[in-house]
Amino acid sequence: MYGEDARTIAELSIDDYLYPDADLYNVSGLPPLALPPLTCDLSSGRWVFDNVSVPAYREKDCTFLTKQVSCLANGRPDDMWQYWRWQPNECSLPTFDARRFMEAMRGKRLMFVGDSLNRNQWESLVCLVQSILSKGRKKIVKRGSFNTFYAKDPQNWGNPDGIKCVRETLPYQNYSQHLDLYHDMRLYDLVVNVASSMEKVPVTVINITRMSDYRKDAHTSLYTIRQGKLLTPKQKADPEKFADCIHWCLPGVPDVWNQILYTRILSKSSWHSNFSPPPSQSLPLPPQ
């Protein structure tokens, strides 16, 4: 829809050659990390305004960001969407620590398979870890697209309500009201049922749909590219047709997806014995 490949496969290889200076990633001297129990529902919570601990990186400092998601560089006049932290109801998420993550993934490979939203998440992750990589070892190798199958686009994938994310600067904050955003939850239930029935290959499903739905303010909206070019003034004047209410500005919501992924990876890693239960946190009030 936006002049891009519909299918994306991205890889982040966490091999020793990425960090020859092993001491740089030594986590043995770090204090115990507070991890939530696996029984905590990380997808149930609220967005809390926090201009101290987030964002985890700055747009201008991450060279891996594509033009599609670089909203400030594309002329977005506000930056409030960057300062919201996801707070689960029953526990707390640890801050993403690139050193701990790289150590947990040492010798492993992380693959994102899907469409441009998966690439959105991949860009977020490389921005989260790039600050500790040696400058001479930051590179992206592109090997073209790999199409696994073709599928018919759903009727409502064409962004018929794109205007709803235009000029939004705050998250949706009525958490008691149901948000009807055309999600067919039967598909989610199907994925959960299939994943739970897989015995030979362990599969974990992380639900990030509802938490993302609240963030109408964090989409790329009119501050993105279409067919490789920034939107023209004429296109911006027709947001119902041209606003992108699918992809996310970075830093932004995909950082939280990766924060949850990071939490679950560390919770299940073989070296989690140094972790301790998380302390309770009070919730600061969002701006009025």
What is the rounded distance in angstroms from the CA atom of residue 120 to the CA atom of residue 69?
A: 8
What is the rounded distance in angstroms from the CA atom of residue 189 to the CA atom of residue 208?
A: 14
Beta-strand pair 219-221/225-226: unpaired
Residue 78 annotated in active site:
no
Residues making up the chain, counted from first to last: 288
In DSSP terms, 45 is beta-bridged to 88
Residue 244 annotated in active site:
yes
The active-site residue, picked from 116, 124, 212, 221, is: 116
Q: Is the dihedral of CA 92, 214, 236, 232 positive or negative?
A: positive
The active-site residue, picked from 212, 217, 219, 244, is: 244
Measured distance between the N- and C-terminal CA atoms of the chain, rounded to whole angstroms: 36
- Closest Cα partner for 128 from 87, 83, 170, 98? 98
* Tokens linked to 10: 């991205």
The 3-state DSSP class for residue 116 equals helix
Compute CA distances 242 → 4, 24, 67, 166, 268, whole Å. 15, 45, 16, 10, 42
Residue 238 annotated in active site:
no
Other CB atoms within 10 Å distance of the CB of residue 132: 14
Active site residues: 116, 244, 247
